[in-house]
Amino acid sequence: MNEYIAHAGAADQLRVWHPFVSPLDPCPPIAEKTFIIPPNVTMPWQPPGLPQFSPYEALKLGTLWPAYYSPYETTPK
């Protein structure tokens, strides 16, 4: 469940944008940039009765509720 949530959440919360690229930019362009919309933005009021992680999973991930888990993995920017 843990892994599933991690991957589903990561994709759902990621937003991609493409900055303007100038031929005069000094560094090789990074064509794609991303940022995260955490679940507190899309669901700013927690509905009651949400499914819960086990206590050990909750401690490991930093929240009791899978719906509010926001994974972060280092990505080259």
The verdict on 5 binding other proteins (CB under 8 A) reads: no
The verdict on 6 binding other proteins (CB under 8 A) reads: no
Tokens 């759902």 locate to 12
The verdict on 23 binding other proteins (CB under 8 A) reads: no
Could you please report the per-residue DSSP string of 27-38? Answer: S-----EEEE--
Query: How many residues lie near other proteins (CB under 8 A)?
Result: 26
Four-point Cα dihedral 46, 52, 54, 59, nearest 10? -20
| Interface ranges with other proteins (CB under 8 A) | 36, 38-40, 43-46, 48-49, 55-56, 58-65, 68-70, 72, 74, 77
